Chains A and B, each alone.
Chain A
Amino acid sequence: MSSYDSEKVAQIHRELHSHLPSESALRVKALESLLVEKGLLDPATVDGWVEFYAEKVGPKRGAQVVARAWRDPDFKARLLADGTEAVKEFGFDGPAHAHLRVIENTATTHNLVVCTLCSCYPHSILGIPPNWYKSAEYRARAVRDPRGVLAEFGVALDDSVEVRVWDSTSEVRFMVLPERPGDTDDLDEAGLAALVTRNAMVGTDRDLTPATGTAS
């Protein structure tokens, strides 16, 4: 049973600090080894989760959702009203997915998602978050200097564009619906999905205009 005792857990952390090897790979190997020995972990299930998230679940899922919203105004309305319900149409489910809120970029607003207190992220439709999303730099600065952070990602926002930063402090997970780029009327859903970057759905990318083949 859990103790719910903060001081006890802090003390355990201090003991671990003194007793664990420094190398992360060895730490994880020791934990896995011990849990298997205790009968609390099936290594083949670990293999399964790793394979599933390395190969099947990733930002391609979110890109499909965005592409459909760009082509289908009714779907877009459903997506903005209740993201969790709307993405069920794709059969996507999984951890950190129960309360999905999709927020829309427009010509005059830009949205940026962060989790300042830990690293909350909509795993089941965007996959494993990048390290920068989990970094102290991003978590500290996204709420305070969003325009500066965006510039580091190569997003040059006009000063007139309003910036909305979403701090994921609850179990609600945020995904940005980027603006559909111009001159894409002839693209089908798959063609549109190919234009959608992971960063655009977190808010660290904005202009998804397809490359024309010439240097821009």
Chain B
Amino acid sequence: MDGPHDLGGRQGFGPVAVGEVEESFHSAWEARMWGIARALTRPAGWNIDWWRHGRELIDPADYLTRPYYDQWMQTYTALLIDSDVFSVGELAAAATAPAPSGSGGEPVDVAALGGSTRFDRDIATAARFAIGDAVRANTLGTAGHTRLPGYVRGRAGVIDHSYGAHVLPDASARGEERAEPLYSVKFAADTLWPEAKGRKAGDRREWVYVDLWESYLERA
């Protein structure tokens, strides 16, 4: 979707705040939200792509201004309401008199919990593109969730690496699991940004590598 989350190359943003203290969490509520996300029993049918889509659907002004873990709170909340776990009214009531957070007891040892989830799959069809092939990213994109960033749509690049088949986020966010070949596609900066134009082919020194699924691409 063409939401406020698709930030690559958007202009008008100022300097990066580089002076941040290096610590895991900057406040207790951020840590709490992180922990809730890890420990929550998720409703049936959730997956990472549906979750990401849920975050993309935050009101655009909120997306660009509310703190990061506040957006996590909004996303988990919206998807839990969508799954009929609770209502907006129940949550609003809880906000007027929330119970104290934390167990007050011994933390559970989570070191053995929550290993990684793999997203690669074996598929029967052969990959359409090989390393070195010239490709062009779809111009139209996808109406719902997609991982095709706006800034590469319609642009030509070269297949630089093949990852085998991975679960397609566009389908997962609709509740369907389907795998497709996934590639790393290399784009020259001067094909993406007007101010980078003018580099001659042998003199290019800035590249952007984007992981793109086969259905995002056509032969160039």
Partner of A30 from the list B44, B45, B94, B110 (CB cut-off 8 Å) is: B94
Q: Is the CB of A167 within 8 A of B92?
A: no
Does any Cβ of A come within 8 Å of B158's Cβ? Answer: no
Q: Is the CB of B95 within 8 A of A45?
A: no
A185 vs chain B, min Cβ distance (A): 28
Partner of A52 from the list B110, B118, B174, B207 (CB cut-off 8 Å) is: B110
Does any Cβ of B come within 8 Å of A78's Cβ? Answer: no
Does any Cβ of B come within 8 Å of A124's Cβ? Answer: yes
B148 vs chain A, min Cβ distance (A): 8
A102 vs chain B, min Cβ distance (A): 13
Does any Cβ of B come within 8 Å of A44's Cβ? Answer: yes
> Which residues in chain A, 1-44, are within 8 Å of chain B measured between CB atoms?
1-6, 8-10, 12-17, 19-21, 24-38, 40-44
A142 vs chain B, min Cβ distance (A): 8
Does any Cβ of B come within 8 Å of A73's Cβ? Answer: no
**A interface residue count range (under 10 / 10 to 19 / 20 to 34 / 35 or more):** 35 or more
B178 vs chain A, min Cβ distance (A): 14
Partner of A13 from the list B36, B58, B99, B174 (CB cut-off 8 Å) is: B58
Could you tell me the distance between the alpha carbons of A159 and B203 in the complex, rounded to whole angstroms?
A: 11
Q: Is the CB of B52 within 8 A of A118?
A: yes
Does any Cβ of B come within 8 Å of A143's Cβ? Answer: yes
Q: Is the CB of B36 within 8 A of A116?
A: no
* Total A-B pairs, Cβ < 8 A: 338
| Set of chain B residues within 8 Å of A29, measured between Cβ atoms | 29, 32, 95, 98, 101
Partner of A152 from the list B9, B16, B29 (CB cut-off 8 Å) is: B16
Tell which of A90-98, A186-194, A206-214 binds the partner. Answer: A90-98
Q: Is the CB of A28 within 8 A of B120?
A: no
In chain A, what residue has the closest Cβ to B175? A4
| Set of chain A residues within 8 Å of B118, measured between Cβ atoms | 98-99
Partner of B16 from the list A16, A141, A144, A170 (CB cut-off 8 Å) is: A141
26 contacts between A and B (CB under 8 A): A2-B44, A2-B50, A16-B88, A19-B91, A26-B95, A28-B33, A33-B94, A33-B99, A35-B36, A42-B39, A42-B103, A43-B101, A45-B110, A47-B35, A48-B109, A48-B113, A93-B115, A94-B116, A98-B120, A99-B119, A140-B13, A143-B8, A153-B18, A167-B8, A167-B149, A169-B212
